[in-house]
Amino acid sequence: MGLQFNPPPGWPPVPSGFVPPPGWQADPSWPPPPAGWQFWVPYEASAYPGAGVGQPAGYQIPHKAGTSGFAIASFVLGILGLFLLSGVLSIIFGIVALVKIRNVPQRGKGFAIAGLALSAVWLATVVAVLVVAITGQAHRSAATGQINQSGSINIYALRFRDCFDNPDAASVSTVTAIPCTQPHNAQVFAQFDVAGTNSSYPGGASLRQQATRGCNSRIAGNLDRSKTTNTMSIRFTYPLQGSWELGHRSINCLVVDQTPDLTSSLLVAHPQG
């Protein structure tokens, strides 16, 4: 004996062969069923011509559906969307939740939509930060290797001949590299490796001594004396212990002016480096 779904009075007509899927709930606007109403009755072909056999005897009306776990996961991960993986997972779970809620009525649509919105905001923010970071970096000519677009550059990425704005600080990690034809106040006139690069950190005093001797000995072969003035000074950069442990083992020799009004290289035609 088959069973067929028996809608209470006032409910819309049952489509041919209708079987409520798991999690199905009646529309709240429909009249409540009379007390003791039987939702499943023996199948009668005359009642619904052409209808197939319903669920077998013993079928139970499912309990009221809860909130979608995927929707909750999307919302939580959307809040944590600052981490790229969290944002991507939030979007995936949110889409899965909306598809499931559409097929099997459940609560949580608002959570899923909120998760998607939060993730979209986070991802847009990350992209914007990356764009700013990329566009704010200095660029070099592929042909000459010289700076051809101003921007931020790591102090250890400076090369021999590079012009830049000296920040006049005791310890720096980045500077603004500038094409030598544009106003600047400093230039790398020599660059050499620290002696004993495979040993342990030699200490600041030892590195300063190496830098002083090495830079002074390279002035004559690199700087154009006709372009230097008494407002300029010789300085150098050397790695601190943390930078040394990261593999930075070079010393930069710098010529620095008091004002950023230099618009050409201060090096001789064929510097020794």
Task: For residues 80 and 160, state if they share a domain.
Answer: no
CA-closest candidate to residue 263, choices 160, 188, 178:
178
**DSSP secondary structure letter of residue 107:** B
Measured CA distances, 251 to 39, 159, 204, 214 (Å): 86, 11, 12, 9
Task: For residues 252 and 158, state if they share a domain.
Answer: yes
Work out the number of other CB atoms within 10 angstroms of the CB of residue 61.
11
* pLDDT reported for residue 256: 94
* pLDDT reported for residue 61: 43
Confidence of residue 12 (pLDDT cuts 50, 70, 90): confident
Confidence of residue 254 (pLDDT cuts 50, 70, 90): very high
Task: For residues 124 and 161, state if they share a domain.
Answer: no
Q: Is residue 165 part of a domain?
A: yes
Whether the Cβ atoms of residue 44 and residue 4 lie closer than 8 Å to each other:
yes
Quote the pTM value. 0.52
Whether the Cβ atoms of residue 244 and residue 201 lie closer than 8 Å to each other:
yes
Q: Is residue 145 part of a domain?
A: yes
Average pLDDT over residues 102-115: 78
CA-closest candidate to residue 227, choices 257, 207, 190, 259:
257
* pLDDT reported for residue 32: 86
Average pLDDT over residues 147-168: 89
**DSSP secondary structure letter of residue 267:** B
Confidence of residue 132 (pLDDT cuts 50, 70, 90): low
Domain boundary among 39, 64, 89: 64
Q: Is residue 100 part of a domain?
A: yes
Task: For residues 59 and 79, state if they share a domain.
Answer: no
DSSP line for 13-64: PPPTT--PPTT----TTSPPPPTT--SEEE--TTTSTT----SPTT--PPPP
Q: Is residue 73 part of a domain?
A: yes
Query: Of 49-58, 186-195, 196-205, which one has max mean pLDDT?
Result: 186-195
Q: Is residue 212 part of a domain?
A: yes
Q: Is residue 268 part of a domain?
A: no
* pLDDT reported for residue 51: 38
Q: What is the pLDDT of residues 39-55, one digit of tens each?
A: 777 765 434 333 333 44
Residue ranges making up the domain that contains 51 = 1-64
* pLDDT reported for residue 135: 59
E strand map for 101-141? 139-140
* One-letter amino acid for residue 267 of the chain: L
What is the overall mean pLDDT for the chain? 80
Task: For residues 5 and 28, state if they share a domain.
Answer: yes
Measured CA distances, 91 to 95, 109, 127 (Å): 6, 13, 16
* Number of domains forming the structure of the chain: 3
